[in-house]
A and B are shown apart, each in its own frame.
Chain A
C-alpha cells in the first residue's frame, strides 16, 4: 500500500484548489481594514498647528435635523413645472423647488451620489463614517453589526450633543446606546409601507418643538418599501412622496434659527424599485439643505458642485456643528456652505473655506498615514505622490497669511480640493474595484483543478501503480515557474506579489499533469453527475441559493430513489425468476439464493425509507433567511435557556438527551457488534470511556446552561463553575481521545484457543472468558458463529503464506482468533466521527442533538444503501474486482453534507452564523481571536466536517456488510467460489494493497471533484453575476461559505484518509509482530 504518494497527491490537488480560490477571492473580495481610532477635540488639526481646543469655538449651528428618506432618488426631488403629465413619482416634492427658488441663500438641492453597494446598512455606514465601506470591513466587531469605526454620531456624542433617533431600526443595531432617546421601528417587512413613517410622525413634531435635543435623526422607510413593493411608477409612490412633501413643509415651519435641516436619500432605485447595485439610478439620491438663517453666501453660482459624493456630508456636518471630523473620513467639506476666505468678517462665526479645507486635509492625511501603516493595499507610488502633494499644500498653507491675495488663496483651495479628490479616488481604486485579471486566473485554475481531479479519479487505477515519481514533475515545474515569475516581477516592478507567482506556477503544473491522466472513458455516470450538475447549476440562481436547503434535499431524495429504480431496471433488485431462459451454463455463475437477494433488497429499501424519512424530518431544523418571507425558524434552534414554558423546556431537554444517548449507544453497539470493544488499546479505551463520559458532560452542560438565572440562587457559584468546567472537560476528553485514537488505532483483540504457549508483549495474559463474552453484543453465539471462524481463516491463511516451511503444521498450531479484525479500518474512523460529532454538538444549541442523530442515521442509511446496492449488483454477476466506489454514493454523500449544513440550523449568510459557539466553555469571552474563530468555524461547518471525515467509510462499508450477505445464512456459501477468501471483510483490502490504495485515492478525488465543482459553480456565479442585484446579499456570502466549506471539508477529508493510512500502518506492524511470534 502506497501511503505517502496518496497523501501527497491529495495534498497537491487540494493545494491547486486553494490557490485558485485564493486568486479569485483576492480579486473579488475587497478588504478594508477598519482603523479603530477616533478623532478628539484636542487633535492638532487646527490651522497653523497651534494647540487649541477645537470644540471650544462657537459653531455655526447648534442643532441639526437629519431627515433620511430611504431611497429618495434625485428624480423624485426635482420639480419641472413644464411637465404637464407627470408620472406618479415626478413633481411630487414641490417644496424643495419652491424653497431653492424663493430663498436661494437658505437652501440648496444637490444630487447626492452614493457609493456601491447601495444597500441601506452600507449607506448608513458610509454617510456616518465618511468612508467607503467594502464588502468586508475587517475589524474586531466580530459578533455584532455595530459600527466601531469613528463616526459622526460618536463625535456628536463626544462633544455633548443630545442625540435623538426615530425610524429604521438598522440605526439601533449600528449605533447601540449612542442615542439618548431612540424610537426604532421594524424595517424588515417590505410590504409594510406605513408603520415606520407613521411611528416617526407621531413623535417627530412634538420632539422638534421641545428643547431636549441637538441632533435629531429621522429615517423614513415608506418610499423604499413602496419602491420594493410597487416600483416607482405607481400611484402609491405618488401618495408616499406627497406625504413626504407635507412632512418637509411641516418640519420647516417648526425649525429654529440655529438649526440645520438636511433632507437626504441614502440611495436611489432602479425602474423596478430595487437597489444594491452601482447603476446611476441606484446611486444618485437627493440632498437638500435648508436653514432659516442664510446658509450660503449667495445664489447658486458656477462653482457649485454638480454632484455631491455621499462621503462629503460627514466633514461638512462635523465642521458646521463644531465637532471633530471622524478619523477615517475621506470626504471633503462642501465648500459652498463655508464663506470664502475674503468674507470671514461678514459671516460672524465658523471656519472659512480655507480653514475648513485645511482641517479636512490634515485629517485625511492623518488617516492615510495610519491606514497605510496598517495595511499594504494602497499602491506605494500613489501613496508617495499623495504625500508629496500634502507637503506642498502644508508649506503653501502655512506660508499664506490672511492678507494674501484672493487669487492665491483660490489656487490653494483648488489644490486642496484636488488633494482630497485624489485621496478619495485612490481609496476607491483600492477598496471598491474588482481585479478581473485575478478573478479570471482564479477561475481558470479552479476549472482546471476540477477537471484534473475528475480525470485522476477516473484513472486512479493506473495511478495506484504510478508510485512516487508521479508528482515530482508537476511540483518541480511549479517551483521553477514560480521562481521565474518572481524573478520577472522583481526585474519588472521591483516587488513580488504572491498571487502572480502562484498563478502561473499552478497553471503550468496543471497543464503538465493534465495530459497524463487524459482518458476518454466516461460511461455509467450520467444520472449521478447530472444531479451533481443540477446542484452546481442551482448555485447560479439567487432563488435557488435562497431555497438551497430544500433544493439539496430534493436532489438527495431524487438520487436516493434513483438507486433502487436503477437496480431494478438492471434486474438486480429482485431474485431472478425461476425459469431462466437457458443461460450459457459455463459463463454465468449460478443464480444467487433468492433469500439473500430478498434480504438485501429489504435492507436497501428500508434504508432508503430511513434516508427519506430522515431527510424529511431534517427539513424541520432549518433556519430562515431574511428573503424567505413566510418562514418560521425551527424551534430547536433557540437555546433552552431562552425557553419560557418549563414543560416544553423539559420536553426538549429530554428529547436532546435521548438523541445524545442514542448517538453514543449506536456507535458503541456497532463497535461491540463487530467485536471492536474487546481489546485494551487506546482506541478501545476511547470507545469505552471517553465517548460516554463526553456524552455525560454534554448532558450535564445542557442542564446547567438551561437553568434559569434566578432559581438556585445559592448555587450560582457552582453553576458558574460548572458552565466553564463541563464543556472544557468535554473538550479535553475529546482531545485526549483523538490523540489516543491516533496513537493506537487498532481495535483488534487477539485470543488464542490454547492459552499455554508463551507469547510476547503483544497479548498480555488472556483475559478471562466473561470479558469478551460480555462484549460481543447481544447475540454472542451468532457472533461467534459468523465472525470468528472467518477471521480465523484469514489468520491461518496469512500464517501459511508467510511461513511456507511451517505451513504444513497448520492444524496442530494453536489457532488464533482475532476479534474486530474485520472492521479494523472502519472502527477507528467511525469512532473519530462519533467523537467529533459530540464535540461539534457541544457547540450547537441543545435542540440540534436530534438533528445530529438524524445525521448519524442518514449516514448509516447511505452507507447501507451503498453496501446493499454493491452486493446486489455483485450477487447477480456484475462483480467488480476492485473496490472502487461509484459516483452515485459519493454524490449522495456530498448532497447529504450540504443538507445537514442547513439542517443544523446554518445558512450561507453572515447574520445566521451562530456566534454563541465561540462562548461555549468560555462564557467570559476570549483574549485572542484564533480560538473563537475556530470554534465558530467548527460550528458552522460541522456537517461538512463529519461527512468529510467519514468519507472513506464508503469504501469500507460494502466489505463490512459482506459478512451479512454471504456468511449469515449458510456458512458463507452465497458468495460463490471461495468462501475463505470472501469472508475476511476489510482484510481483503490488506490483501490487495494496490487496489486498496487506488480505490482510496479514487474515492477521495471523487469527493474532492464534487466539492470542487460546487466551489467552481459559486465562483462562476459571483464572477458572472457581479453586477447582479443580489451579489452582495446572496452570491458573495454563498461564495464565502462554499469556499470555506471546501477548505474545511478538504482538510478533514485528508484527516480521514490519513487516519486510514495510519491504521494501515498499524495493522502492518501488528501482522509483522504476530507472525514470527505465532510461529514459535
Chain B
C-alpha cells in the first residue's frame, strides 16, 4: 500500500546518509589536515551543514510537509521566521540539557553549543521539514498513536536513534583510555551521527517489515 512511499523514503534516506559521508570525505580532500578527531568542530559543522541542506532540499522536493492553507507571502515569511526561532530555541534547549547532563558549564561552551547545533540539525530540523513549525504536532508525533504517516514513523525512529546515540556517546568519556575520540564532545557527536545513520537505515526497513501492523489515521 505504501510501497511507493517506502521507496521514496529509502532513496531519500540514502541521499541524506551519503551526504553525511560526503561531508566527512570531501573536506578531507580539499582541506589540509582535516580529520574527524583533530578538527572535530570543522567536521561537525560540515556534517551539520550537509544534513541541513540535503534534508531541506529533499523534503521540499518531495513535498512531504503538510500543505499550507494560506499562500500569502506574509504567511510564508512568518512560517520562516518561526522556523528559525524554533531552531534557535532548540539549540538552546539542547545546550541546557547537555549541560544538565554534566557537560562543563563555562569552559568548552563552544563545543557544547556545537553539539547542540548538530543535534538540532539531526532532530528539530527534520521535525520542521516533516511537520512544519507546529509544536503541537511535534509533541503529538512522539506518542504511540501519534504517527499519521510513514514519514511520521520514520521521524520518530530517526529522532530517537540520534538522541540515544548521543546518550550512548557519553558513556566512554570517563574511561581512562586517553583516546582522541574521548575528548568532549567527539564521542557524543559521533554517537548522534552514527545513531542518525542507523535511524536512516532502520526506519524504512522497520516500516517495510511492519507495514501490516501500521495503521494511520487519515491526515
Q: How far is the CA of A569 from the CA of B139 in the complex (A)?
A: 10
B175 sits at the interface (CB 8 A): yes
Q: Mark A514-555, 1 if CB is under 8 A from B, else 0.
A: 000000000000000000000000000111101100110110
A1057 sits at the interface (CB 8 A): no
Q: Is the CB of B170 within 8 A of A554?
A: yes
Q: How far is the CA of A557 from the CA of B100 in the complex (A)?
A: 8
Q: How far is the CA of A619 from the CA of B101 in the complex (A)?
A: 11
Stretch from B40-48, B118-126, B140-148 that touches the partner: B140-148
Q: How far is the CA of A46 from the CA of B18 in the complex (A)?
A: 88
Q: Is the CB of A574 within 8 A of B139?
A: yes
Say which residue of B101, B143, B170, B176 sits within 8 Å of A543 (CB atoms). Answer: B176
Cβ–Cβ < 8 Å partners of B170 in chain A: 554
Q: Is the CB of A550 within 8 A of B217?
A: no
Q: Which residue of B lies closest to A547 (CB)?
A: B174
Q: Which residue of B lies closest to A546 (CB)?
A: B174
Contact A571/B175 with A550-B102, A553-B102 known, Cβ cut-off 8 Å = no
Q: How far is the CA of A565 from the CA of B170 in the complex (A)?
A: 20
A712 sits at the interface (CB 8 A): no
Q: Which residue of A lies closest to B146 (CB)?
A: A571
B167 sits at the interface (CB 8 A): yes
Q: Is the CB of A571 within 8 A of B145?
A: yes
Q: How far is the CA of A1046 from the CA of B68 in the complex (A)?
A: 60
CB distance from B108 to the nearest CB of A (A): 13
CB distance from B200 to the nearest CB of A (A): 21
Say which residue of B101, B102, B142, B175 sits within 8 Å of A569 (CB atoms). Answer: B142
Cβ–Cβ < 8 Å partners of A568 in chain B: 139, 142-143
Q: Is the CB of B102 within 8 A of A619?
A: yes
CB distance from A876 to the nearest CB of B (A): 12
Cβ–Cβ < 8 Å partners of B167 in chain A: 558
A612 sits at the interface (CB 8 A): yes
CB distance from B116 to the nearest CB of A (A): 16
Q: How far is the CA of A612 from the CA of B142 in the complex (A)?
A: 22
Contact A570/B143 with A544-B174, A546-B174, A550-B174 known, Cβ cut-off 8 Å = yes
Q: How far is the CA of A875 from the CA of B81 in the complex (A)?
A: 39
Q: How far is the CA of A574 from the CA of B142 in the complex (A)?
A: 12
A812 sits at the interface (CB 8 A): no
Q: How far is the CA of A616 from the CA of B101 in the complex (A)?
A: 8
CB distance from B163 to the nearest CB of A (A): 10
Q: Is the CB of A551 within 8 A of B144?
A: no
CB distance from A834 to the nearest CB of B (A): 28
Q: How far is the CA of A543 from the CA of B31 in the complex (A)?
A: 36
Q: Which residue of B lies closest to A544 (CB)?
A: B174
A401 sits at the interface (CB 8 A): no
Interface of B is mostly: loop
Interface of A is mostly: helix
Q: Which residue of A lies closest to B170 (CB)?
A: A554
Say which residue of A551, A573, A612, A619 sits within 8 Å of B174 (CB atoms). Answer: A551
Q: Is the CB of B101 within 8 A of A570?
A: no
A303 sits at the interface (CB 8 A): no
Q: Mark B176-191, 1 if CB is under 8 A from A, else 0.
A: 1000000000000000
CB distance from B63 to the nearest CB of A (A): 26
Q: Is the CB of A571 within 8 A of B143?
A: yes
Q: Mark B147-171, 1 if CB is under 8 A from A, else 0.
A: 0000000000000000000010010
Q: Which residue of A lies closest to B175 (CB)?
A: A543
Cβ–Cβ < 8 Å partners of A574 in chain B: 139
Cβ–Cβ < 8 Å partners of A570 in chain B: 143-144
Cβ–Cβ < 8 Å partners of B174 in chain A: 543-544, 546-547, 550-551
Q: How far is the CA of A551 from the CA of B144 in the complex (A)?
A: 30
Q: Which residue of B lies closest to A628 (CB)?
A: B174
A646 sits at the interface (CB 8 A): no
Q: Is the CB of B100 within 8 A of A612?
A: yes
Contact A571/B144 with A543-B175, A543-B176 known, Cβ cut-off 8 Å = yes
Q: How far is the CA of A74 from the CA of B109 in the complex (A)?
A: 49
CB distance from B179 to the nearest CB of A (A): 12
Cβ–Cβ < 8 Å partners of A558 in chain B: 167
Q: How far is the CA of A571 from the CA of B99 in the complex (A)?
A: 29
Q: Mark B104-118, 1 if CB is under 8 A from A, else 0.
A: 000000000000000
Cβ–Cβ < 8 Å partners of B102 in chain A: 550, 553-554, 619
Q: Which residue of A lies closest to B99 (CB)?
A: A616
Q: How far is the CA of A624 from the CA of B15 in the complex (A)?
A: 48
Q: How far is the CA of A624 from the CA of B101 in the complex (A)?
A: 19
Which residues 82-109 of B have a CB within 8 angstroms of A?
Answer: 99-102
A881 sits at the interface (CB 8 A): no
Q: How far is the CA of A830 from the CA of B101 in the complex (A)?
A: 30
Q: Taking each of B99, B144, B217, which has the highest tally of chain A beta carbons within 10 Å of its own beta carbon?
A: B144
CB distance from A323 to the nearest CB of B (A): 44
Q: How far is the CA of A805 from the CA of B109 in the complex (A)?
A: 75
Q: How far is the CA of A929 from the CA of B174 in the complex (A)?
A: 39
Q: Which residue of B lies closest to A542 (CB)?
A: B176
Q: Taking each of B99, B102, B174, which has the highest tally of chain A beta carbons within 10 Å of its own beta carbon?
A: B174
Which residues 51-101 of B have a CB within 8 angstroms of A?
Answer: 99-101
A581 sits at the interface (CB 8 A): yes
CB distance from B131 to the nearest CB of A (A): 16
Q: Which residue of B lies closest to A627 (CB)?
A: B176
Q: How far is the CA of A536 from the CA of B139 in the complex (A)?
A: 34
Q: How far is the CA of A557 from the CA of B101 in the complex (A)?
A: 7
Q: Is the CB of B100 within 8 A of A616?
A: yes
Q: Mark A605-636, 1 if CB is under 8 A from B, else 0.
A: 00000001001100100000000000000000
Say which residue of A544, A547, A569, A581 sits within 8 Å of B217 (CB atoms). Answer: A581
Say which residue of A541, A569, A581, A616 sits within 8 Å of B144 (CB atoms). Answer: A569
Cβ–Cβ < 8 Å partners of B99 in chain A: 616
Cβ–Cβ < 8 Å partners of B175 in chain A: 541, 543-544
Q: How far is the CA of A570 from the CA of B144 in the complex (A)?
A: 6
Cβ–Cβ < 8 Å partners of A542 in chain B: 176
Q: How far is the CA of A541 from the CA of B176 in the complex (A)?
A: 10
Cβ–Cβ < 8 Å partners of A619 in chain B: 102
Cβ–Cβ < 8 Å partners of A547 in chain B: 174
Q: How far is the CA of A710 from the CA of B85 in the complex (A)?
A: 60
CB distance from B115 to the nearest CB of A (A): 15
Q: Which residue of A lies closest to B174 (CB)?
A: A547
Q: How far is the CA of A922 from the CA of B134 in the complex (A)?
A: 65
Q: How far is the CA of A816 from the CA of B32 in the complex (A)?
A: 86
CB distance from B166 to the nearest CB of A (A): 12
CB distance from A594 to the nearest CB of B (A): 14
Q: Which residue of B lies closest to A577 (CB)?
A: B140
Cβ–Cβ < 8 Å partners of A571 in chain B: 143-146
Cβ–Cβ < 8 Å partners of A573 in chain B: 143
Q: Which residue of B lies closest to A534 (CB)?
A: B171
Q: Mark A569-594, 1 if CB is under 8 A from B, else 0.
A: 11101100000010000000000000
Q: How far is the CA of A546 from the CA of B165 in the complex (A)?
A: 24
Q: Which residue of B lies closest to A550 (CB)?
A: B102
Q: How far is the CA of A479 from the CA of B175 in the complex (A)?
A: 47
Cβ–Cβ < 8 Å partners of B176 in chain A: 542-543
Q: How far is the CA of A574 from the CA of B170 in the complex (A)?
A: 31
Q: How far is the CA of A544 from the CA of B101 in the complex (A)?
A: 16
Q: Which residue of B lies closest to A548 (CB)?
A: B174
Q: How far is the CA of A541 from the CA of B145 in the complex (A)?
A: 40
Q: Which residue of B lies closest to A616 (CB)?
A: B100
Cβ–Cβ < 8 Å partners of A541 in chain B: 175
Q: How far is the CA of A581 from the CA of B217 in the complex (A)?
A: 10
Q: Which residue of B lies closest to A553 (CB)?
A: B102
Q: Is the CB of B100 within 8 A of A569?
A: no
CB distance from B170 to the nearest CB of A (A): 7
Q: How far is the CA of A569 from the CA of B159 in the complex (A)?
A: 14
CB distance from A409 to the nearest CB of B (A): 57
- Besides A550-B102, A550-B174, 16 other A-B contacts (C-beta < 8 A): A542-B176, A543-B174, A543-B176, A544-B175, A553-B102, A554-B101, A554-B102, A557-B100, A557-B101, A565-B142, A569-B144, A570-B144, A571-B143, A571-B144, A571-B146, A616-B99
A–B pairs, 5, beta carbons within 8 Å: A541-B175, A554-B101, A557-B101, A569-B144, A615-B100
Closest 8 CB pairs of A and B: A547-B174, A543-B175, A543-B174, A543-B176, A571-B143, A616-B100, A550-B102, A569-B143
